[in-house]
Structure 1
Amino acid sequence: MLRLSRISMHQWLFGLSLALIALLDPIGLASSTDDASARWLNRLLASGYADAGQRQVVVVLIDDSYLLRNDTYWPLPYNEQSKLFKRLLAYRPGAVFIDLLYSHDHSRTVPGQAPRMESQVLANVFERYRQQGIPLMLANSGLERGSEGAVNVLPRLAQVSTPALVSWSGYGSQYPLAVPTPLGVLETPALQLYREYCRRHTCASLPADAMAAAQRPPMTVQWGVHQSPLQAQVSDIGACTVPGLVDQLMQAVFWKLGNNAQSNCPYNLTLSASDLEVTDPDDQALIRQLLQGKLVLVGAHISGTGDVTLSPLHGKIPGVYLHAMALDNLIDWGMDYYRATPSLAELGIPFTGSVDVLDLIELALLGVITLLKGTLEAPLFSVTGNGQRARMRLEPLGAWVVVLVLLSGLSVGLWLNNYTPANFLGLLLLSLTLFSARIQALFENRAPNHSEFSTQGTQR
């Protein structure tokens, strides 16, 4: 007769311990492996990332070479900014986001001029081109002016621009579309620029307003790795490298061995602010072709400044690229961008905290791992009859392969539905650790024993 063997109490306790660790996340272990799994999958899929957004998004960087070329300093004086943005806006971009902070007026005193006139001149430049139909967004912290940590736009600049939220908390490494703030619900730069894109292109349904956008799940930004084909027309890309898939996977797993597997040039088409100063008609025509009608994000790459973001494919890069890549994701996928699975609370199940659907699926996988581990210590099924007892055992390698297949199937299913992956690395390493002793014993039992030999002579 076939019957299910009883699982011992220590196996039940072991499974319960795994479940508590997965749900309560002590010392952030589960969260760390979750993030590592997401980075690992991004590396795996980056080579096939679509280029629809890449053709619409341009990053303009104010860098050290621009400061040296113009014999100026940082923060860039307002009169220099006025020249820079007049050059940029004259190329008629579709919309512009400026990832610079204007919280304190540092206008210089000029004899014969009214106080703080330099910032007013910059505001006049913004207003002139806004009236010509070029939307302009300026970075904002969303805090009341004068409060601690507030980094808001100067009032005279705020009157001629739209605030774009660049500071938030409680979202981990994810990118929200909009966030409630003391100033009201503010949208982030990616969504604001995407709205401008959708004015000229056919898009799926957008959130009706900022409040509706705040109800949408935050985005798990996916990064591309291959440069724009147009980049070679404006800069030397001879030193740019794109590591192979194997190198990137090894870097994702053994990240402490160095960053040789990181791409050293950004995915988004990037211009230096110096490129806007060209005077040759052919060069100006090229810059116009690259900027006209495009979604432009202006940021800074100045030595000693701390505005950086961490890309799983490029390492530390200027923070403006996070907004550029989030915008790129929206152009590629619309509102079906990559995101975490919904939480149980969002599905109307009370008292579940931040537990989401994927947590329950991973708990089920942990149960399978615990059950398989039990079959290696005691048989899952017993066959009895006529006083004889036979046992059916699952081989250790077979058990691990079962886990690998289940994890792979789950990750592929989530990816096809634009959800963040399961904690692939955490569950895989956990299962390998649990089965390692049995796998090692299996190979030791199969290996020939060369240490035993006969000391007796040959029998005749």
Structure 2
Amino acid sequence: MNMTRIPGGVKDTFRKALRYSDPPVKGERMSFATLACAFLILFIVSLVMLAIGDKLNAKDMVLTRFMARAQATLTAQVGYPTAMRDRITVVMYDQQFLKHTDSAWPISYQDHADWLLRLAGDPNARPKAIMLDITFGQNRKDPTLPALRQALCTVRNEYKVPVFLAALPSPETGKLAVRNGLGPDPSSTEAPCYTLVGVDYLPDTLDGLAWDYRLTRHRAESGWKDGTGEPSAAATPPAYRSAAMTIAQDVAHIELGRETAPLALVWGLKSAPQRERPDSLSYCKPGAYDAARYVPGIIRQFFQNPSSPVCPYHNTLSMAQLGELPEDVLAPFLKDRYLLVGANVPGYNDFANSPVHGLIPGVHLHAMALDNLLTYQGNYKQSTGWEPEHFPNLIKPALLAVLAVFLVNVGWRKVSQKFGFVKKPKAHNAGAAAEDARRITPRKIGRAALGVLAWLLKMTLKTVAAMALIAILQTLFRIGMLPVVELVTMTLLAEGFNYMKKLGALVPDETRATAPPAPAPTSPV
């Protein structure tokens, strides 16, 4: 690297910054300019490694997902407020319900109608809205279909409770559709008694987890795309809105602003303290604060035994409990609540994989997305990558996250100097030095073991500092978790590869090159 044209002061600062990862020398101090230069080098190297990793992997790296999963639980317990948690109730058709009613899945349209009316029928416990996360798309022989259509109209027109039906887009028109006979007569001008909503779930291509949530979808020439698309004479996008977005806009009347990216899901951890738990939640435990979550998962597994999965975030009832619980016990779960009805029965394969709760019924995905929109409103977190158009929004939190790692370096260096863990001067006698290098002693083995433990401790402290700061940054910025976690992971990898020493080998150190040679050993007279 040619540095002849660089001013001497800048050149000297750059050289000192490249020697930053060398073992500290007692009494050595680095100027603010040197530290700033070292930090800038670390940040640039991290970005370069991230760009190379994306190119090699085509989409993110596996290691970043490992750290992101640990980060998700920490962010959930530190940075996500619970203010909106109890405004949402999830109601499930489950095994408990099938056993209670002595029925099988799928149930009849008449049964759907009866339980829908029971959800909204009590004037003292009217919900704010009902979303049925069950797609009535296939035509099947059931003479009770008119009963369901009438129940939907009764809930909306008489009980004044908005109803939202999950639906899939028609391959022909691209519009959301339900089966024939459920909607109004095509020749009639009568509006349907429900609003159709999209329930797309696109798991992450790398780890299968639900890191984001599509708010709107439109059909372009190349297929289905996220967002509203560009208006044209042939179509008026968006083709449809998601369940969470529609409820937030139409019922909660939240102004979400222009959509530029999908919602980056922040999963809640502190589960609702529910006493009347359905049988389907017997496998899990309510989520609670745990200081051990600050420790990286790869280390935590050595001292913490695997525990039961964390229960879903929101209050959850079996539909059977509507007929079992007293009205005064049931009312708090229904009155002025957003009710999301789903199914968790054999043969109904609707699940989402949460980084916090594991595999859960898909209706909880929509409940969590709605909770995010109610909590953050127009400032919901955005799921973006390091594309040029999103770079300005990520640069500040990214700099702060990498700074957390760098500050641990600075602190570690000062501690090493204070307690005497400093660089020892090399022996001037080359022969004696070579002989000493070949000799293996218990002291050397002990020092090597301590060196490994010290390195592990330093990397752990860096990871903890970065994770804690990312959790805070997510409360301050509209950033998703993955981009910053990816960059910090690359920062830790760069540290592990001792990037400074490798870069320093490319730049000759003129101060060392001009230093006087060590005196040759003299022979005894």
Question: Would the aligned equivalents of 2:53 and 2:61 in 1 still touch at CA under 8 Å?
Answer: no
- The one-letter code of the counterpart of 2:130 is V
Of residues 79, 100, 121, the one that matches 1:90 is 121
**2:244 equivalent to 1:190:** yes
Partner secondary structure for residue 86 of structure 2: coil
- The one-letter code of the counterpart of 2:337 is K
Displacement after TM superposition at 1:43 (Å): 0.8
Displacement after TM superposition at 1:20 (Å): 4.2
CA RMSD, Structure 1 to Structure 2 (Å): 4.4
Displacement after TM superposition at 1:160 (Å): 2.6
**2:290 equivalent to 1:245:** yes
Partner secondary structure for residue 117 of structure 2: helix
For structure 1, which segment, 174-183 or 92-101, has the greater mean C-alpha deviation from structure 2 after superposition?
A: 174-183
Question: Would the aligned equivalents of 1:62 and 1:273 in 2 still touch at CA under 8 Å?
Answer: yes
Q: How does 1:147-162 map to 2 (within 5 A)?
A: 152-158=177-183, 159-162=192-195
**2:176 equivalent to 1:130:** no
Question: Would the aligned equivalents of 2:264 and 2:480 in 1 still touch at CA under 8 Å?
Answer: yes
1:53-101 deviation digits (Å, cap 9, x = unpaired): 1121010000012112212111122121121111112132111110111
For structure 1, which segment, 252-261 or 18-27, has the greater mean C-alpha deviation from structure 2 after superposition?
A: 252-261
Partner secondary structure for residue 489 of structure 2: helix
CA distance in 2, matches of 1:24, 1:284: 58
Q: Which residue of 1 aligns with 2:198?
A: 165
CA distance in 1, matches of 2:381, 2:93: 31
Displacement after TM superposition at 1:123 (Å): 0.7
Partner secondary structure for residue 198 of structure 1: coil
Change (3 A) 1:309 1:43: same
- The one-letter code of the counterpart of 2:195 is T
- The one-letter code of the counterpart of 1:61 is M
Q: How does 1:13-412 map to 2 (within 5 A)?
A: 18=49, 20-26=51-57, 28=59, 30-48=60-78, 49-91=80-122, 92-108=126-142, 117-132=143-158, 133-144=160-171, 152-158=177-183, 159-167=192-200, 173-181=211-219, 185=238, 186-199=240-253, 205-207=255-257, 212=258, 215-229=259-273, 231-233=274-276, 240-242=285-287, 245-248=290-293, 252-253=297-298, 260-261=306-307, 263-278=309-324, 283-340=326-383, 344-346=387-389, 358=394, 407=466, 411=470, 412=472
Displacement after TM superposition at 1:23 (Å): 4.3
Change (3 A) 1:413 1:104: closer
Change (3 A) 1:18 1:267: closer
Question: Would the aligned equivalents of 1:40 and 1:253 in 2 still touch at CA under 8 Å?
Answer: no
CA distance in 1, matches of 2:264, 2:498: 32
Displacement after TM superposition at 1:21 (Å): 1.4
Partner secondary structure for residue 339 of structure 2: strand
Partner secondary structure for residue 89 of structure 2: strand
Unaligned runs of 5+ in 2: 1-7, 19-40, 184-191, 206-210, 221-234, 410-450, 502-525
1:180-233 deviation digits (Å, cap 9, x = unpaired): 14895211111122224424xxx5x334xxxx4xx342111112222223x214
Partner secondary structure for residue 317 of structure 1: strand
Question: Would the aligned equivalents of 2:91 and 2:339 in 1 still touch at CA under 8 Å?
Answer: yes
Partner secondary structure for residue 289 of structure 1: helix
Change (3 A) 1:177 1:435: same
- The one-letter code of the counterpart of 1:82 is A
Displacement after TM superposition at 1:36 (Å): 3.7
Displacement after TM superposition at 1:243 (Å): 6.2
Percent sequence identity over aligned pairs: 23
CA distance in 2, matches of 1:292, 1:16: 50
Unaligned runs of 5+ in 1: 109-116, 348-354, 373-394, 439-460
Partner secondary structure for residue 299 of structure 1: strand
- The one-letter code of the counterpart of 1:273 is M
Displacement after TM superposition at 1:360 (Å): 10
Displacement after TM superposition at 1:40 (Å): 2.3
Change (3 A) 1:169 1:433: same
CA distance in 2, matches of 1:16, 1:325: 32
Displacement after TM superposition at 1:247 (Å): 4.8
Partner secondary structure for residue 270 of structure 1: strand
CA distance in 2, matches of 1:16, 1:225: 31
- The one-letter code of the counterpart of 2:248 is Y
CA distance in 1, matches of 2:459, 2:316: 46
- The one-letter code of the counterpart of 1:228 is A
Question: Would the aligned equivalents of 1:262 and 1:315 in 2 still touch at CA under 8 Å?
Answer: no
1:10-52 deviation digits (Å, cap 9, x = unpaired): x9xx999735414425254x34344444432221132343222
Change (3 A) 1:256 1:123: farther
Partner secondary structure for residue 118 of structure 2: helix
Displacement after TM superposition at 1:344 (Å): 4.6
Change (3 A) 1:253 1:261: farther
CA distance in 2, matches of 1:409, 1:234: 33
- The one-letter code of the counterpart of 1:138 is L
CA distance in 1, matches of 2:57, 2:269: 34
Change (3 A) 1:21 1:270: same
- The one-letter code of the counterpart of 1:167 is D
Q: TM-score, normalised by structure 1?
A: 0.68
Change (3 A) 1:157 1:318: same
Change (3 A) 1:156 1:406: same
Displacement after TM superposition at 1:304 (Å): 3.9
